Amino acid sequence: MLATPEIDYYADGTSENWRSYCNRHGYNFVYWRETVLPDMHLIWSKIELMRRHIAQTRADWLVVVDADTIVNLPELPLSQLLEKHPGKDFIISEDVSRRMGLPIPLCTLSVRLSRSWRPPNCGFMMIRANAFGLRFVTEWLQHGRGDCAHVADIFPREQRVLWMTLFQTEAEKIGVLGPEVMRIGNNTILDRYFTSWDRAFVLHDKRLPRNVR
């Protein structure tokens, strides 16, 4: 998790949630606290830190979570997500809201740029810590500094660049998660009556900056 000090007022709670989960299952929790790319928006430091971590870790997978995510079903291991996407090297959450189980894209831009009704969301990512993973994040950053530099600082920044490039060129290697990672908080009324997240492994809760559980 990347969480710089200015968001400690909610990241203290979510980081402890993930730390507790990792301790329970024997995973190594890494808490990135500083940006490392002064020439780019701070969110790109997440991609560079992924690159550095893959280059030196002995683990098979790197899992990266945003500071507004929490584990909802802590008894489940991460392997249950891998089992649903055999043969994939990059597994990522979807950029949709789910209403009565149906995926609803959050914006038409994501659909147009990604050419998918279920575009990816960078709030939860699993990537193999091997040569593929290192190349993938390296090229992602290169796109942000090169052919996609003109949009790399336009929200949602690294996500937008991913939609435009690697999500299409590396499609066979990418698996998109469904309701296992549930996006909530975009519409409180709709979430209350038309969303069921009791079976979601992870909640990506946009209310967390204002209402940490």
Mean pLDDT of the 12-37 span: 97
Mean pLDDT of the 140-163 span: 97
pTM attached to this predicted model: 0.91
Is it the case that residue 150 has pLDDT exceeding 50? yes
Mean pLDDT of the 70-81 span: 96
For residues 200 and 159, give the distance between their C-alpha atoms in angstroms, rounded to a whole number: 22
Which CATH architecture does the domain made up of 5-205 adopt? Alpha-Beta Complex (3.90)
Is it the case that residue 167 has pLDDT exceeding 60? yes
Domains of the chain, by residue range, sit at 5-205
**Predicted confidence band at 102 (pLDDT cuts at 50, 70, 90)?**
confident
pLDDT of residue 189: 45
Mean pLDDT of the 90-109 span: 86
Which own/partner contact pairs does 130-137 have at CB distance under 8 Å and 24+ positions apart?
130/54, 130/60, 130/89, 132/89, 132/173, 133/54, 133/62, 133/89, 133/90, 134/51, 134/54, 134/55, 136/89, 136/90, 136/166, 136/170, 136/173, 137/47, 137/50, 137/51, 137/54
What DSSP letter does each residue of the chain carry, written as one string? Answer: -B--GGGHHHHHHHHHHHHHHHHHHTPPP--B-S---TTS-THHHHHHHHHHHHHH--SSEEEEE-TTEEES-TTS-THHHHTTSTT-SEEEEESEEEETTEEEES-HHHHHHHTSSS-EEEEEEEEESSHHHHHHHHHHHHHHHTTTTTTTTSTTTHHHHHHHTHHHHTGGGEEE--TTEEEE-S-HHHHHHH---TT-SEEEETTTTT---
